[in-house]
A and B are shown apart, each in its own frame.
Chain A
């Protein structure tokens, strides 16, 4: 996935300030979405905090390159996805990783039309994280993006490099895998 292309140069004068209206509102409107994606994609609050900082810093540096072809939210997501995937790749390169357990959810009997029931809401975050950690990156990312009501299937598709039809198809399988693992993690 490519980050936005380079464009204009930065101004030489006036020091940057987070309080500058444009960047401040960009942060206010999108920080929760970006932090949540980073948190659940990376599975570590400290890494998510660092990643969110780095994503908005990149956005600040490249704000003048934003061409307005996509929404600002989509543009930020693109930067965040690239950043988080790079971090995960670096981690995977240092650790032996096996997907041998994939069959657990691939062959799971979980139904996608059954509601997910939760008894203890306090531990929901941990259980969600454990479930997401057990999913392939593709499914995890897809679910996290589709969960953002501001994104259409077309926008999600553009972010993951798939058509909106492919997104719908994979979403069905991702829901099923999530439900199966969520039950298993009860």
Chain B
């Protein structure tokens, strides 16, 4: 009897674990934008871009501060 009870508990735990795994595997998105937002958050910008930019901008003259920044003395964001 005890053996049966233990088996039953193990089966229940296994079933719960499978159910949890299944729940984790299914992901719902309300619409396309939500899915794209998630996709964007999982996207890593290749570090090579910053390195290339550093080289590319290295030989260029530094741009002057924008006229509106000089006027306002701050950033616009």
A and B pair up: yes
List A residues at the B interface (Cβ < 8 Å).
Answer: 7-20, 22-23, 27, 29, 31-33, 35-36, 39-40, 45, 49, 52-53, 56-57, 60-68, 71-73, 112, 115-121, 124-125, 128, 143-144, 146-149, 174-175, 178-179, 182
- The listed residue (A73, A115, A120, A128) touching B39 by CB distance below 8 A is A128
Q: In whole angstroms, what is the CA distance A121 to B39 when docked?
A: 10
Contacts of B60 in A (CB 8 A): 10, 15-16, 60-61
Q: Mark B37-51, 1 if CB is under 8 A from A, else 0.
A: 111101101101110
A117-B35 in contact (CB<8A)? no
B62-A31 in contact (CB<8A)? no
A39-B27 in contact (CB<8A)? no
A15-B49 in contact (CB<8A)? no
A27-B32 in contact (CB<8A)? no
B64-A66 in contact (CB<8A)? no
If A18-B54, A118-B29, A119-B26 touch, does A60 touch B43 (CB 8 Å cutoff)? no
List B residues at the A interface (Cβ < 8 Å).
Answer: 25-40, 42-43, 45-46, 48-50, 52-54, 56-69, 72, 75-77
Contacts of B28 in A (CB 8 A): 115-118
B66-A65 in contact (CB<8A)? yes
Q: Which residue of A lies closest to B37 (CB)?
A: A147
Report the number of A-B residue pairs with Cβ-Cβ less than 8 Å. 167
- The listed residue (A8, A45, A72, A117) touching B67 by CB distance below 8 A is A8
B57-A178 in contact (CB<8A)? no
Distance in angstroms from B72 CB to nearest chain A CB is 8
B29-A64 in contact (CB<8A)? no
Contacts of B66 in A (CB 8 A): 7-8, 63-68
Contacts of A12 in B (CB 8 A): 61
Instruction: A16-B60, A17-B57, A143-B32 are known; give 10 further A-B pairs, CB within 8 A.
Output: A11-B62, A11-B64, A31-B50, A49-B46, A65-B66, A68-B76, A119-B25, A147-B40, A148-B37, A175-B31
Distance in angstroms from B51 CB to nearest chain A CB is 9
Q: Which residue of A lies closest to B44 (CB)?
A: A32
Q: Pull 27 A–B residue pairs with CB atoms less than 8 Å apart, ordered by A.
A: A8-B64, A10-B64, A11-B62, A11-B64, A15-B58, A16-B60, A17-B54, A23-B57, A27-B50, A31-B49, A32-B40, A56-B49, A61-B60, A67-B66, A67-B67, A71-B77, A72-B76, A116-B31, A118-B27, A118-B28, A118-B29, A124-B38, A124-B39, A143-B36, A146-B33, A147-B32, A178-B32
